[in-house]
């Protein structure tokens, strides 16, 4: 039995989260070779830990993970009645996350995932002959194999052949479309009973899935005209480093993180790496500052263990009703940094701008392609009567915008292209006057301040022979730049 489970039992008994008999029954159900998260999941599935106790279990798992790095607990928590309970661990923010059917706090070292593993395999034609346990085990293996193959997504949709996406290219895993009943069973195989009820009721369901500390996924389930469909996005094991993302002008980006108030926006289309960049920025703050960071995500993907900072991660759904509700509450929770997974509606954007003006550093993401579009989207959600006031607020609070894309590289992988806008006096004047069309000129003259324009970055990647001519043309629109590509 590993030290993590022993610590979970010791701490759980001390906290009266479960009894010794319940711990023994849980261990018998999962086996003595099980991992901590399998044990935790059985506590949930066996109705030993209920929904209202999930936050206590999350904190307990984080503490057990940290203590297990040092060694096992004193005595045998399954046998000795007289061993004193351990001293309370320092109060941590709930940085680990338990989501049915699994959850985890990441191990300290990142996993060594080999992106050149074999193509994932699964007996899709035999789903009808599998029982629920075999189907769940098979899906777990398929998800792990997909990540080890280097794919970013797995799609399991009724009426379509299962496929994976690797470097933007789609590869079928079977020549046969999934039957309606097979797709539903497969996509609900890893759901707890209450999650399945939510999915069948709402017809849409987003959640984070953690098979263990090294294998995490962002999952979207939905129904379409042929039946159930699931999209599984691989979440990198471990916390990404800012230096490893391929972004330009890192000194400029790091300077943005030195501010103690203001608004920083990370933007880009779906699949552009916004979540990874956001996680890297939080990790950088966590290591270099001593602050309270509150994140609001949908769902939690990259788990941030407290280092220099106290990190509180909240998920829309299990922990809060909406981004707006969490952001409103965050202002009363003594934060220094507020991270918003997505700025998507008027109330959330208005609250984010307000928070950035009142002494908080706010970092958020938007689905926009460049700095000018980002500003237009940010401002246009407000009614005309508020435009003058909100433009003045944004001009004052905005620190910078990082727009990014992932482009197919000539070597078969992906290459990052990013546009960086840093707020200065000229930018602030344009925002107040509503002249976003003139941003490009100001950004071109702001190279010394660390600014860069997406089209120029794409052209540079083409000239370095890192992307193809076709990719360069698709990602440029200005006549002068396209002429240099042709």
- pLDDT tens for 162-206 read 999 998 888 999 998 999 999 999 999 999 999 999 999 999 998
Cα–Cα distance for residue pair 463/452, rounded to 1 Å:
16
Distances (CA, A) of 473 to 31, 48, 465: 57, 58, 14
* Summary mean pLDDT of the chain: 86
pLDDT band at 51 (very low <50, low <70, confident <90, very high): low
Distances (CA, A) of 440 to 210, 324, 406, 435, 454: 42, 32, 21, 11, 10
Determine how many CB atoms are found less than 10 A away from the CB of residue 4. Answer: 24
Locate 274 and state its tokens: 């916004």
- Mean pLDDT in residue range 151-161: 94
Per-residue pLDDT, 75: 67
Determine how many CB atoms are found less than 10 A away from the CB of residue 220. Answer: 14
Per-residue pLDDT, 55: 64
User: According to CATH, where is 3.30.450.90 located in the chain?
Assistant: 124-235
Beta bridge partners of 153: 165, 233
Between 355 and 37, name the one with better pLDDT: 355
User: According to CATH, where is 3.40.50.300 located in the chain?
Assistant: 242-452
Cα–Cα distance for residue pair 33/347, rounded to 1 Å:
49
Per-residue pLDDT, 339: 97
Least Cα distance to 262 among 382, 387, 419, 423 occurs for 423
Between 57 and 424, name the one with better pLDDT: 424
φ and ψ at residue 39, rounded to 5 degrees: -65, -45
Element at 220 (helix H, strand E): strand 215-224
Element at 317 (helix H, strand E): none
| pLDDT one-digit tens code per residue, 54-101 | 667 777 777 777 677 677 777 677 665 444 444 443 333 333 333 333
Q: What is the DSSP string of 362-423?
A: EEEEE--SSHHHHHHHHHHTS-GGGHHHHHHHHHHHEEEEEEEEEEE-TTSSEEEEEEEEE-
The pLDDT > 90 percentage for the chain reads 59
Q: What angle do CA 247, 336, 343 make, to 5 degrees?
A: 60
Q: How many residues does the chain have?
A: 486
Least Cα distance to 251 among 431, 451, 445 occurs for 451
Task: Find all residues with CB under 8 Å of 171, minimum gap 6, and list them.
Answer: 119, 151, 163, 164, 165
Locate 323 and state its tokens: 């981004």
Locate 436 and state its tokens: 């976003």
The CATH number of 124-235 is 3.30.450.90
Per-residue pLDDT, 94: 32
pLDDT band at 140 (very low <50, low <70, confident <90, very high): very high
- Mean pLDDT in residue range 221-234: 95
Q: How are the residues of the chain apportioned to helix, strand and coil, as percentages rounded to the nearest 5?
A: 40, 20, 35
Question: Which fold is adopted by the domain 242-452?
Answer: Rossmann fold (3.40.50)
399 close to 450: Cβ distance less than 8 angstroms: no
The pLDDT > 70 percentage for the chain reads 90
The pTM for the full model equals 0.70
- Mean pLDDT in residue range 97-117: 38
Is pLDDT of 35 > 80? Answer: no
Per-residue pLDDT, 106: 34
Between 394 and 272, name the one with better pLDDT: 394
Lowest-pLDDT choice from 107-116, 256-265, 273-282, 407-416? 107-116
Determine how many CB atoms are found less than 10 A away from the CB of residue 476. Answer: 20
Where does residue 220 fall: left (phi above 0), alpha (psi -120 to 50 degrees), or beta otherwise?
beta
Long-range contacts, 473-481 (Cβ 8 Å, 24+): 475/405, 475/407, 475/417, 481/455, 481/456
Q: What is the DSSP string of 149-172?
A: TT-SEEEEEBTS--EEEETTEEEE
Is pLDDT of 254 > 80? Answer: yes
């Amino acid at each position: 039995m590993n030290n993590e489970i022993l610590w979970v039992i010791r701490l759980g008994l001390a906290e009266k989260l479960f009894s010794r008999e319940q711990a023994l029954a849980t261990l018998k159900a999962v086996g003595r070779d099980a991992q901590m998260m399998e044990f935790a999941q059985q506590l949930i599935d066996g109705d030993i830990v209920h929904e209202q106790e999930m936050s206590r279990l999350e904190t307990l798992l984080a503490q057990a993970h940290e203590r297990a790095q040092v060694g096992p607990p004193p005595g045998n928590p399954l046998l000795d009645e007289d061993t004193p309970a351990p001293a309370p661990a320092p109060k941590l923010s709930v940085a680990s996350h338990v989501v049915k059917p699994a959850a985890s706090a990441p191990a300290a070292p990142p996993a060594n995932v080999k992106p050149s593993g074999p193509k994932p395999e699964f007996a899709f034609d035999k789903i009808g002959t599998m029982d629920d346990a075999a189907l769940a085990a098979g899906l777990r293996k398929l998800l792990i194999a997909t990540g080890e193959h280097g794919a970013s997504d797995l799609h399991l949709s009724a009426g379509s052949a299962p496929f994976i996406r690797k470097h933007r290219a789609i590869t079928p895993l079977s020549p046969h479309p999934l039957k309606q009943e097979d797709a539903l069973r497969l996509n609900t195989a890893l759901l707890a009973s209450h999650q399945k009820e939510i999915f069948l009721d709402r017809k849409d369901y987003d959640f984070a899935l953690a098979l263990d500390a090294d294998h995490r996924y962002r999952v979207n389930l939905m129904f379409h005209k042929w039946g159930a469909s699931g999209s599984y996005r691989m979440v990198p094991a471990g916390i990404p480093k800012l230096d490893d993302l391929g972004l330009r002008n890192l000194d400029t980006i790091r300077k943005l993180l030195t501010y103690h108030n203001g608004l920083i926006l990370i933007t880009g289309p779906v699949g552009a790496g916004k979540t990874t960049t956001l996680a890297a920025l939080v990790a950088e703050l966590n290591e270099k500052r001593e602050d309270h960071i509150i994140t609001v995500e949908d769902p939690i993907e990259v788990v941030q263990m407290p280092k220099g900072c106290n990190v509180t991660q909240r998920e829309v759904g299990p922990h809060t009703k909406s981004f707006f509700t969490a952001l409103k509450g965050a202002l009363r929770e003594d934060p220094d940094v507020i991270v918003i997974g997505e700025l998507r509606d008027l109330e959330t954007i208005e609250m984010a701008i307000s928070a950035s003006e009142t002494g908080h550093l706010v970092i958020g993401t938007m689905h926009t392609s460049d700095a000018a579009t980002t500003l237009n989207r940010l401002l246009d959600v407000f009614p005309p009567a508020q435009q003058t006031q909100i433009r003045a607020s944004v001009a004052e609070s905005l620190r910078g915008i990082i727009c990014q894309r992932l482009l197919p590289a000539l070597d078969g992988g992906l290459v990052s292209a990013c546009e960086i806008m840093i707020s200065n006096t000229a930018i602030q004047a344009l925002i107040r006057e509503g002249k976003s069309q003139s941003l490009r000129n100001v950004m071109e003259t702001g190279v010394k301040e660390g600014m860069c324009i997406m089209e120029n970055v794409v052209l540079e990647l083409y000239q370095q022979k890192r992307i193809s001519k076709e990719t360069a043309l698709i990602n440029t629109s200005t006549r002068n730049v396209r002429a240099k590509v042709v």
